[in-house]
């Protein structure tokens, strides 16, 4: 068997829509307030896409920045993989729209559906293609326009989510010399499929006037159950991933930006402070598949990903699904 090709992250990029939605906006029509939202989630504001903006638009901006930073052009891409639960259309995949608009004429393209673990699922898949010698340059994106799927009558879910996109270009580590992916894991437990759910519009509940009136195509969230799962999954994965390394080798943890209290509770279990943790939930809310790559790109831009140190990406969400990636930056 041919030896595995080591894979690196050659460049990252991100994009969030211009429209800033502060917590106060929800006070106009929901029984909630800024203080509750800040205390219970850490979120101060999020971004919502404009009416004429869709997920492929967000992807395009993030992808162009990632490719610029990686120093490659679109025709060099072999594969475009988008992690999203909010594609532009039910059919075709969001990834083919991105492939076409980028001019990535030599690339295959497909979406992966893993909600908040979507970017890490795309990353895991892209890494495997390159490691096996089946592709050399893969663009992976996590992107969501969740604002279109929020039930603005439900204070327990409407205040949490935001829109955005983050991207990374993967290539053989020997060619980019940075961000070597040492390990990736994906996991799932479909018995929890109803915890975070959009029940309408699929085969079980096709779109009808009644299903739309009942808001079955909007996101439904069992917050408390998700909270417990998120804390235990984040702490378990991080613990497992850093177990074999000296404490000072760890540079940064980039967790899914789900809820500030979830991140803090997981850090308590790990007996860690937040010094080595990337947190930007206050500005963007929970952007699902976009959350990890948007935070990663911000960390790269702020030079918090230190060459030679370890970076742990960790995500968890609807499905239930989870994933982690260990990188030697």
Q: Where in the sequence numbering do the catalytic residues fall?
A: 116, 256, 286
Q: Of 99 and 325, which CB lies nearer to ligand COA in the complex structure?
A: 325
- Please report, as residue ranges, which positions from 26 to 45 form the binding site for ligand COA (by CB under 6 A): 32, 36-37, 40-41
Q: Which of 12, 257, 259, 325 binds ligand COA (CB under 6 A)?
A: 259
152 lies in the binding site for ligand COA (CB under 6 A): no
Structure tokens at 309: 């140190």
User: Quick one: CA dihedral 273, 275, 277, 278, positive or negative?
Assistant: positive
Q: Do 4 and 157 contact (CB within 8 A), yes or no?
A: no
User: Cα separation of 195 and 328, whole Å?
Assistant: 34
258 lies in the binding site for ligand COA (CB under 6 A): yes
192 lies in the binding site for ligand COA (CB under 6 A): no
- Residue, CB closest to ligand COA: 223
User: Cα separation of 137 and 139, whole Å?
Assistant: 7
User: Cα separation of 11 and 297, whole Å?
Assistant: 9
Q: Of 41 and 99, which CB lies nearer to ligand COA in the complex structure?
A: 41
Q: Which of 7, 93, 159, 168 binds ligand COA (CB under 6 A)?
A: 159
- Please report, as residue ranges, which positions from 227 to 256 form the binding site for ligand COA (by CB under 6 A): 227, 230
Nearest Cα residue to 279 out of 306, 250, 308, 304 = 304
Q: Of 140 and 221, which CB lies nearer to ligand COA in the complex structure?
A: 221
Around Cβ 134, how many Cβ atoms within 10 Å? 12
Q: Do 199 and 230 contact (CB within 8 A), yes or no?
A: no
Backbone φ and ψ of 121, nearest 5°: -70, -40
292 lies in the binding site for ligand COA (CB under 6 A): no
Q: How far is the CB of 300 from ligand COA (least distance, A)?
A: 24
CA distance readout (Å), 106 to 82, 233, 322: 16, 38, 31
- Please report, as residue ranges, which positions from 204 to 223 form the binding site for ligand COA (by CB under 6 A): 221, 223
User: Cα separation of 295 and 309, whole Å?
Assistant: 17
101 lies in the binding site for ligand COA (CB under 6 A): no
Q: Of 25 and 36, which CB lies nearer to ligand COA in the complex structure?
A: 36
Q: Of 147 and 226, which CB lies nearer to ligand COA in the complex structure?
A: 226
- Phi-psi category of residue 103: left, alpha or beta, with phi > 0 → left and psi -120 to 50 → alpha: left
Q: Of 123 and 160, which CB lies nearer to ligand COA in the complex structure?
A: 160
Q: How far is the CB of 315 from ligand COA (least distance, A)?
A: 9
- The partner residues of 161 in beta bridges, in order of sequence, read 286
Q: Which residues here bind ligand COA, judged by CB under 6 A?
A: 32, 36-37, 40-41, 116, 155-156, 159-160, 196, 221, 223-224, 226-227, 230, 258-259, 286, 316-317
């Amino acid at each position: 068997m041919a030896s595995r090709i080591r894979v690196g992250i050659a460049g990252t990029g991100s994009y969030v829509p211009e429209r800033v939605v502060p917590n106060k906006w929800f006070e106009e029509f929901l029984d909630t307030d800024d203080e509750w939202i800040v205390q219970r989630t850490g979120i101060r504001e999020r971004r919502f896409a404009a009416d004429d903006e869709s997920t492929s638009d967000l992807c395009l901006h993030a992808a162009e920045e990632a490719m610029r930073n990686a120093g490659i052009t679109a025709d060099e891409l072999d594969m475009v993989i988008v992690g999203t639960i909010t594609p532009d259309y039910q059919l075709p995949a969001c990834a083919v729209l991105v492939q076409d608009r980028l001019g990535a004429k030599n690339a295959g393209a497909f979406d992966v559906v893993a909600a908040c673990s979507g970017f890490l699922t795309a990353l895991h898949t892209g890494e495997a293609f390159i490691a096996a010698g089946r592709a050399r340059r893969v663009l992976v994106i996590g992107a969501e326009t969740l604002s279109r799927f929020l039930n603005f009558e439900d204070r327990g879910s409407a205040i949490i989510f935001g829109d955005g996109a983050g991207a990374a270009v993967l290539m053989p580590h020997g060619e980019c010399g940075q961000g070597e992916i040492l390990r990736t894991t994906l996991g799932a437990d479909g018995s929890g499929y109803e915890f975070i759910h959009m029940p309408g519009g699929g085969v079980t509940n096709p779109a009808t006037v009644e299903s739309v009136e009942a808001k079955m195509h909007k996101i439904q969230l069992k917050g408390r159950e998700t909270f417990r799962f998120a804390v235990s999954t984040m702490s378990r994965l991080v613990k497992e991933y850093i177990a074999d390394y000296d404490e000072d080798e760890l540079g940064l943890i980039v967790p899914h930006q789900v809820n500030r209290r979830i991140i803090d509770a997981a850090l308590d279990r790990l007996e860690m402070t937040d010094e080595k943790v990337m947190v930007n939930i206050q500005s963007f809310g929970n952007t699902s598949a976009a959350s990890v790559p948007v935070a990663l790109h911000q960390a790269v831009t702020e030079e918090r990903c230190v060459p030679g140190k370890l970076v742990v990406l960790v995500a968890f969400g609807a499905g239930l699904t989870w994933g982690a990636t260990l990188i030697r930056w």
